């Protein structure tokens, strides 16, 4: 064999070896890529919502039809927002498809037009708010009451007067309040600003309607105290519960006077992300707790 021939033979062998390796590798790579798909068959419906749906940990398989119907009705919403809104319950009219709320006597309880409290629910460990920060005798769950006093004390030190004018309300009291509003304004109007009994956040002992004592609470938005609350309430664990730009999501008109205790960590997140408690709840409370339970 000449030197040239030997070189050519070497070259040919090398090419054959590389080709063989590639041929052998292709099916291995191909099979690996397909393994998850064959292991877990995805439904056609889930695919219609796109890849994002599969990655969202609060995606509920049994809600797939609801997600698709809501997406069809709201094509401009992202898939993630579709899932958030359906999990909140927004694909149903308010007060329909209601469930009894979970996590009673916790700071992360949700009460709204889809999550209700029993008529006999009274939160445990309520305390009176210091009379220098409240109008009349006002009760809140002890940790919320402490946080509220801390907030009001800090505000006062800076020259702002924050008073709790309505906090815990019993089922019976809410019922008479709501019925009064209905007789005054009719049910449709009353529903925009007053909760039906069993659906009021005030029954949790974690909500406070505030004022500056000089003006009625309905004028709170136009006070310097409101600006202070906008900047500081979250530092004490409180959120503005019914913001101006979230009326559909919360089911309530803008209420600049209504604050809800959720704890500092949650309040800071909601403040920074500008989301509703509804959205926070379906993203971080409901899904996580359900996983823990299952």
Minimum CB separation from Zn ion for residue 257, in Å?
A: 7
Minimum CB separation from Zn ion for residue 284, in Å?
A: 24
Interface residues toward Zn ion, by CB under 5 A = 209, 258
- 96 catalytic? Reply is no
CA atoms within 13 A on the CB side of 157: 6
Phi, psi of 253 (to 5 degrees): -60, 165
For 201-219, b/e burial (b = at least 16 CB within 10 A) is bbbbbbbbbbbbeeeebee
Give the ranges where 125-263 is alpha helix by DSSP (H): 142-157, 171-185, 187-193, 224-232, 247-250
Minimum CB separation from Zn ion for residue 222, in Å?
A: 18
CB nearer Zn ion, residue 86 or residue 147: 147
CB nearer Zn ion, residue 59 or residue 199: 199
CB nearer Zn ion, residue 83 or residue 233: 233
Separation CA 31–CA 83 (nearest Å): 32
User: Coil, strand, or helix at residue 146?
Assistant: helix
Residue nearest to Zn ion (CB): 258
Q: What does the block give as tokens for 77?
A: 């919403």
CB nearer Zn ion, residue 49 or residue 147: 147
Q: How many residues does the chain have?
A: 294
Residues 201, 225, 255, 279: which is the catalytic one?
Answer: 255
Give the residue among 133, 134, 152, 139 at the shortest CA–CA distance from 233: 152
CB nearer Zn ion, residue 191 or residue 209: 209
User: Coil, strand, or helix at residue 205?
Assistant: coil
CB nearer Zn ion, residue 209 or residue 225: 209
Minimum CB separation from Zn ion for residue 191, in Å?
A: 15
For 159-169, b/e burial (b = at least 16 CB within 10 A) is ebbbbbbbbbb
Sheet holding 163-166, edge to edge: 163-166, 207-211, 258-261, 238-240
Minimum CB separation from Zn ion for residue 162, in Å?
A: 14
Minimum CB separation from Zn ion for residue 207, in Å?
A: 6
CB contact at 8 A, 209 and 138: no
Residues acting as catalytic residues: 255
């Amino acid at each position: 064999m000449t030197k040239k021939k030997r070189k050519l033979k070497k070259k040919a062998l090398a090419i054959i070896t590389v080709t063989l390796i590639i041929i052998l590798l292709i099916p291995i790579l191909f099979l690996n890529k397909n393994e998850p798909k064959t292991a877990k068959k995805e439904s056609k419906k889930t695919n219609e919502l796109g890849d994002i749906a599969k990655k969202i940990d609060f995606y509920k398989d049994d809600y797939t039809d609801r997600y698709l119907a809501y997406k069809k009705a709201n094509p401009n919403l992202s898939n993630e927002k579709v899932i958030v809104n359906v999990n909140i319950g927004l694909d149903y009219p308010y007060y329909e498809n209601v469930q009894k709320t979970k996590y009673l006597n916790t700071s992360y309880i949700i009460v709204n037009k889809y999550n209700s409290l029993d008529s006999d629910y009274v939160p445990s460990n309520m305390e009176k708010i210091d009379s220098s920060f409240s109008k009349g005798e006002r009760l809140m769950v002890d940790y919320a009451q402490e946080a509220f006093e801390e907030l009001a004390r800090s505000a006062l030190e800076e020259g702002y007067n924050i008073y709790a004018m309505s906090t815990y309300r019993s089922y019976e009291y809410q019922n008479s309040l709501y019925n009064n509003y209905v007789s005054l304004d009719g049910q449709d109007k009353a529903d925009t600003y007053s909760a039906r009994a069993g659906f009021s956040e005030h029954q949790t002992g974690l909500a406070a309607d505030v004022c500056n004592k000089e003006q009625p609470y309905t004028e709170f938005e136009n006070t310097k105290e409101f600006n202070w609350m906008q900047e500081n309430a979250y530092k004490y664990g409180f959120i503005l519960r019914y913001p101006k730009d979230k009326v559909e999501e919360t089911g309530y008109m803008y209420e600049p006077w209504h604050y809800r205790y959720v704890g500092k960590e949650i309040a800071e997140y909601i403040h920074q992300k500008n989301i509703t408690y509804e959205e926070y709840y379906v993203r971080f409370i409901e899904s996580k707790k359900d996983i823990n339970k299952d």
